[in-house]
Amino acid sequence: MELTKDILLDLHRRMVRIRHFEDEAGKLSESGQMPGALHLYVGEEAVAAGVMVHLTDEDQITSTHRGHGHLVAKGGDFKQMYAELYGRSTGYNKGKGGSMHIANVDAGMLGANGIVAAGPPIAVGAGFSNKYRGTKNVAIPFFGDGATNEGSFHEAANMAAVWKLPVVFVCENNGYGEFTPQAEHQAIKDITDRAAGYGMPGIQADGMDAIAVWEAAGEAIERARNGEGPTLLECKTYRYYDHVGRSGIGLEYRSDEELDEYRKEDPIPKLEKHLIDNNVLTADEIQAVHDGILAEIAEAIEFAENSPLPDPSTVTEDVYYTG
Amino acid sequence: MTAEATTEARQLPYILAITEGVRQSLQEYDTSFLAGEDVGLAGSVFRIYKGLYAEFGPERVIDSPISEAGLIGLGVGAGATGLRPMIDIMFSDFIGECMDEIANQLAKTRYMFGGKTTLPVTVLTMGGGGINLAAQHSQSLEAWLCHIPGLKVMMPATPHDVKGAIIAANRDENPVFVIMNKASLGITGEVPEEPYAVNIGEAIVRREGSNFTIVAIGRMMHEAMTAAEILEKDGIDVEVIDPLTLQPLDTETILTSVRKTHRALVVHEAVRFGGIGAEIAAQIQENAFDDLDAPVGRIGAPFSPVPFSPPLEQAYLPNAQKIADGVKDLIGLD
């Protein structure tokens, strides 16, 4: 596994795509232009990017309520994503899912999910399917520290381990279950402590460092593809915005100092410094990446805003497959 | 024609009709597998899958950990990625362990995704009381499932229908619950040898009659047939309808019957309050009010958990005599 220039550029591009997608979505939500609630992924981009660089459309992921970043990193199309967040019929889910259920099954993205820890059992099903069908594909559930307190996480982890399924459990430990600090919701600091209980390896990566995540995920994904079973990969990361929206519900549950500390660890400038130091990109070229993505986003938002709303007569369509 | 007549005459108990339905489903699709607690080596605690592990091997008849949420998740993930899972939840009482995966994932995924996936998942589970298994292994919870858009729910009463329901469910592109009945495992009936599917969403008129309709769900169909014989002696000519599928419900067959007989009683083993009988009664009254000569009656279990002790359980469960008495009450006979 060699960290090539192409991989570095890919990691950078995926992270910048997420960052700008989320920033713009957050603004549109705050201004009331976008309905519903958004859980923004800003700060955690290194995790989605570092994992997704290893995957193809035939590999599956399950996501969380904080799911836009995962879909962007898995190749999500901005137009269909914004259209879905706007509840338009041109969205990925035809406006029936919204932020918390956004999905693109064709690319192996089995949905954001409004239920904490609902994804891991589904990813186990996808991993089982990969093995049953004789493929080398992997299934990756993303989930938070809080999700590891749910019974369904436990059932999924045990099942994947006992059946040696090609699943990599990626925990995005951002230190909070909604607003509750980790120390108050579990008696462990390292989610990897739980891995031994399932008989699977537990490895950690700095979730604020895309290269570190890329390395750790690569190792775990290779094990899975080789039929050596699941891994629990914990990425310690941080959520720059609040649990919901950019500013949340106005709770003071974490300090500005803490946020500032993690801002210094921002994975995007960190990788950009690496790119410049190693002569991969110049500052101007980096700026051009940002500008190109922002232009694409502006176009996608325009597309979404000009897209038709779903016809109310379609409300009961798609409940069942009818042929 | 002769060959067909021969196969149609074959008698099989409900338990073996289940086995055959699953066997033929596994034969029909390489993408189908059966997973559940002790479904493999043990052939299930009910022995309904006996022989399938030896026949299809551990890759396709899979003993799982005791993890119901994991099992339904397995169905969702495998179903969304090209397989056609058959998931066994040993007792229907255990759906509490996996209700999120059922209600929020299995049922809703297709809709939430804008119709961009199918989930051809069959959930096989055993419901009902009558064999002294007490409050956590005897319930009839079909109403929970029928209330969730996205699921289909079947309660086959006969050997013929349980086999046909399993095959129909496995062929369907939607999640289908087949709630089998543990007190019916020994019931014998005609079961054709070849694979066949019953029509999901199509009720069956079990007995034609002219002046009273009993809609009887699951095992209660047999009790209603006995009740009809009792009532015949009093000159009441009962039509018995077995909905077979509760979601989607074949309202039309029920209404056609009621428009003919002008009276109806709905019977189920589930607790009466909030049971599916309430829905059926409401639909009859909404759609056939002018045809009714009496309120639509409902018979179900009293509002208590299923008791253990045999006399308590017998007092709890509806039966033919209670049904016959209920009909007479509605007609105004003593």
DSSP string, A244-272: STTTTTS---S-HHHHHHHHTT-HHHHHH
pLDDT of residue B5: 52
pLDDT of residue B1: 41
Q: What are the pLDDT digits (tens) for A256-313?
A: 999 999 999 999 999 999 999 999 999 999 999 999 999 999 999 999 999 999 999 9
Q: What are the pLDDT digits (tens) for B250-304?
A: 999 999 999 999 999 999 999 999 999 999 999 999 999 999 999 999 999 999 9
CATH topology for the A5-306 domain: Rossmann fold (3.40.50)
Q: How big is the CA angle at A132 (ends A130 and A137), to the nearest 5 degrees?
A: 15
**CATH number assigned to the domain covering B204-331:** 3.40.50.920
Superfamily (CATH H level) for B2-190: Thiamin diphosphate (ThDP)-binding fold, Pyr/PP domains (3.40.50.970)
Domains B2-190 and B204-331 share a fold: yes
Query: Is A126 close to B77, i.e. CB distance below 8 A?
Result: yes
> B273 in contact with A at a CB cutoff of 8 Å?
no
Residue A30: count other Cβ atoms within 10 Å of its Cβ.
13
Cβ contact A18:A45 at 8 Å? yes
pLDDT of residue B2: 45
> A134 in contact with B at a CB cutoff of 8 Å?
no
Nearest residue on chain A to B63, alpha-carbon basis: A163
Q: Where are the beta strands (DSSP E) in chain B?
A: 11-13, 32-36, 61-63, 84-91, 122-127, 152-154, 176-181, 188-190, 204-207, 212-216, 238-242, 245-247, 264-271, 297-301
**Which of A105, A155, A314, A316 is the best substitution to test chain B (most B C-beta atoms within 10 A)?**
A155
For chain B, give the mean pLDDT. 96
Cβ contact B272:B303 at 8 Å? yes
Q: Over its length of 323 residues, how does chain A's per-residue pLDDT go in tens digits? A: 899 999 999 999 999 999 999 999 999 999 998 999 999 999 999 999 999 999 999 999 999 999 999 999 999 999 999 999 999 999 999 999 999 999 999 999 999 999 999 999 999 999 999 999 999 999 999 999 999 999 999 999 999 999 999 999 999 999 999 999 999 999 999 999 999 999 999 999 999 999 999 999 999 999 999 999 999 999 999 999 989 988 888 888 999 999 999 999 999 999 999 999 999 999 999 999 999 999 999 999 999 999 999 999 999 999 999 98
CB-CB neighbors (< 8 A) of B64 in chain A = 159
Query: Is B112 close to A96, i.e. CB distance below 8 A?
Result: yes
pLDDT of residue A247: 86
Rg (CA), chain A: 19
Amino acid in the structure at residue B4: E
What is the ipTM metric for this complex? 0.95
Nearest residue on chain A to B114, alpha-carbon basis: A93
pLDDT of residue A115: 96
- The structural domains of chain B, with segments of one domain joined by +, span 2-190, 204-331
**Six-digit token string for B300:** 């179900």
pLDDT of residue A27: 96
CB-CB neighbors (< 8 A) of A161 in chain B = none
pLDDT of residue B333: 83
Write out residues in chain B with pLDDT < 50, as ranges: 1-3, 7
**Six-digit token string for B167:** 């095959």
- The structural domains of chain A, with segments of one domain joined by +, span 5-306
